[in-house]
Amino acid sequence: MNRPIALFALLGLLLTGCQTVKLVTPLKERSNPQVTVADGRVRVAPDVLTFFSDEKNVTITWRLPADSRLRFADRGIEIHGRVTDRAVRTPDGGEAVVLDRTQNEIVECKRSQDGLAFACLNRNTRPGVYKYSIRISDGQKTIEVDPPIVNGW
């Protein structure tokens, strides 16, 4: 089994076990992730956003600290697609997951007027792992991180 698929399978098993006992961060925290930048790296807490199958039409609002000099870029949150169970070889001999870019689960993404928040509607009608990017800018340089959103567990 290749590594990307094994990683997502393991993540799925782990999260499925969590659903049984619901030992998970409360929805209010999962739907309001906090974004910080330290040592030139974007961090988000919680780092994996997990939504149970009964948590439909949740607005996710990522927030920078109120006193931050940084802002979300124009495309501060970009949903790339749903991770499929396929992988491809890259030119350098590595492996990459294949995305279904036709997703319409996480939609209507908008940056706040002050640039300190970015919100998307998570319809959560189709289970899966969704790859997305968070992009933060200081006005000259943009940095990003690519954490997952997991729906339907």
> Taking 60 as the threshold, does the pLDDT of residue 7 lie above it?
no
Separation CA 124–CA 104 (nearest Å): 9
What is the pLDDT, as a whole number, of residue 43? 96
Cβ-based neighbour number of residue 131 at 10 Å = 18
Give backbone dihedrals phi and psi of 96, rounded to 5 degrees, phi first: -140, 145
Q: Which domains does the chain carry?
A: 3-151 (2.60.40.420)
pLDDT in tens, 87-131: 677 787 777 677 788 889 999 999 999 999 999 999 999 999 999
Which pairs with CB-CB distance under 8 Å and at least 24 residues apart come from 47-50? 47/147, 48/11, 48/147, 48/148, 48/149, 48/150, 49/147, 49/148, 49/149, 49/150, 50/15, 50/18, 50/24, 50/149, 50/150, 50/153
